[in-house]
């Protein structure tokens, strides 16, 4: 095996998946294809899972060697765009829903239904297949799926504050009626200053906080979309235009901003606006009591937490518990110099056998349906109940559509400075969101 992590990186941000035991990979193993190929992704834990899978693949296909290129999340899509444009991109690379359309529409990807055959997708997670199907073609092999969001909790912090996981799962938040908001008081109990006073105490010192209650901030998947959806708002319309001025969306953002700047139960935006891993690292350090996130952080928390922890369901907004459930694909570079080797490897990582390493290691939820059991089994053995991530999405009506858009990268670059100012409290949410919407939509044209 020739597996290398070409660009070392800290733990990344997202999740991945795969196909059934009767997938093409099983049939094509040892088919005679040869050559070196590279796979680009942004998550170190996932790279470790791929190592196990690639060892098996290379043993069955001695003519093919696979190298893994791990690029940091913060640089991933900028470098990928540049490399695809210059013709130096990897043979296969991860894409998420926000960025894949750029590459599919501009002819940079192989259509998987044509490359592997239309029957290949029968063993793949239906929601991931649907997410990455455009113009009647599937544009990547499903690798991981996230389930929904849930609340990771520091059990020691909860016990010290007299809060139970059940209280959190049954809590409600409400931006317009404080009498219906049971979530904020919980966060105030869990926010502790250096003198041991919580945020409900009149003597609480907001300038010297030792432990925050919650990870409110610009986490699109696990915070912003969840609060928007749970309040009945929207992030985009069916044409991928931003809808930040939706009154319910404005309410949701206003609530989050108040958690940070008025109630001081979440870290300041100066720490979180440009550091997507800040709140996770602070949770692992014992400085945040509740961390709302996805399944992709289970392995990170298990490995990094020195305290007793658990998972419970997210609180409900006025419209109930609403979350996004995106997936990750491995997309094939249409300009690869070794297309047969690419096809053979895609078949493998789209099979249950090739994809189960993610589940067996607990890294992420496999998008290959027959590999899913390995994930559940792993976490059961670890004594972790993963049900809270999935009960929230059992009803399709409680799932918010993933972010879409052919030019989402440009849109994000344009709207983020205005959104930064909203979270920093420099501008009123309604005004800042209007600016963000206008700038984002203008950039996408």
Arithmetic mean of pLDDT over the chain:
89
Residue with tokens 């991931």: 128
Asked if residue 119 belongs to a domain, the reply is yes
Asked whether residue 11 is domain-assigned, the answer is no
pLDDT tens digit string along 235-257? 999 888 999 999 999 999 999 99
Question: Per the domain annotation, does 402 fall within a domain?
Answer: no
What whole-number percentage of the chain has pLDDT above 90? Answer: 75
- Residues 349 and 252 both lie in one domain: no
Asked if the model's pLDDT at residue 404 lies above 90, the reply is: no
pLDDT of amino acid 25: 37
Is residue 18 domain-resident? no
Q: Are residues 374 and 300 in the same domain?
A: no
Between 6 and 151, the more confident residue is 151
16: phi then psi, degrees, rounded to nearest 5: -150, 180
pLDDT tens readout for residues 153-183? 999 999 999 999 999 999 999 999 999 999 9
| Residue span of the structural domain in which 87 resides | 24-147+326-397
Q: How many domains does the chain have?
A: 2
pTM: 0.79
Domain assignment present for 77: yes
Q: Do the domain assignments include residue 439?
A: yes
Q: Check whether residue 266 and residue 188 sit in a common domain.
A: yes
pLDDT at 187: 98
* Distance, CA of 58 to CA of 416 (rounded, Å): 43
């Amino acid at each position: 095996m020739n597996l290398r992590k070409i660009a070392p990186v800290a733990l990344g941000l997202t999740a991945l998946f795969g196909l059934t035991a009767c997938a093409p990979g099983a049939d094509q193993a040892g088919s005679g294809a040869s050559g070196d190929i590279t796979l680009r992704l942004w998550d170190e834990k996932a790279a470790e899972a791929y190592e196990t899978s690639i060892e098996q693949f290379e043993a069955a296909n001695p003519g093919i060697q696979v190298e893994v290129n791990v690029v940091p999340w913060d640089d991933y899509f900028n470098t990928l765009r540049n490399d695809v444009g210059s013709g130096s991109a990897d043979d296969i690379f991860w894409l998420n829903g926000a960025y894949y359309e750029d590459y599919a529409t501009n002819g940079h990807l192989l259509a998987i239904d044509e490359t592997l055959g239309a029957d290949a997708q029968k063993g793949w997670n239906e929601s991931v297949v649907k997410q990455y199907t455009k113009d009647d073609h599937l544009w990547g092999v499903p690798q991981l799926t996230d389930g929904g969001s849930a609340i990771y909790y520091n059990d020691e912090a909860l016990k010290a504050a007299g809060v139970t996981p059940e209280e959190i799962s049954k809590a409600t938040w409400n931006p317009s009626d404080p009498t219906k908001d049971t979530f904020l008081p919980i966060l105030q109990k869990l926010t502790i200053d250096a003198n041991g006073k919580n945020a409900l105490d009149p003597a609480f010192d907001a300038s010297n906080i030792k432990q925050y209650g919650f990870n409110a901030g610009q986490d699109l998947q696990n915070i912003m979309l969840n609060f928007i959806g749970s309040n009945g708002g929207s992030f985009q319309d069916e044409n991928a235009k931003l809808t930040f001025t939706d009154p319910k969306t404005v309410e949701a953002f206003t609530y989050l901003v108040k958690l940070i700047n008025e109630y001081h139960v979440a870290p300041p935006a100066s720490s979180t606006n440009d550091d997507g891993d800040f709140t996770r690292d602070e949770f692992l350090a014992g400085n945040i009591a509740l961390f709302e996130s996805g399944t992709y952080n289970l392995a990170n928390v298990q490995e990094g937490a020195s305290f007793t922890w658990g998972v419970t369901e997210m609180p409900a907004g006025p419209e109930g518990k609403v979350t996004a459930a995106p997936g990750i694909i491995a997309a094939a570079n249409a300009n690869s110099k070794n297309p047969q080797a690419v096809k053979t490897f895609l078949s493998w990582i789209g099979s249950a056998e090739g994809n189960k390493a993610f589940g067996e290691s607990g890294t992420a939820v496999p998008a290959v349906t027959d590999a899913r059991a390995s994930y559940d089994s792993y976490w059961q053995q670890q004594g972790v109940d993963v049900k809270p991530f999935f009960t929230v999405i059992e009803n399709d009506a409680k799932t918010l559509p993933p972010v879409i858009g052919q030019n989402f990268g440009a849109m994000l670059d344009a709207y983020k400075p205005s959104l930064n100012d909203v979270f920093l409290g420099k501008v009123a949410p309604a005004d800042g969101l209007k600016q963000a919407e206008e700038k984002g939509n203008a950039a996408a044209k």
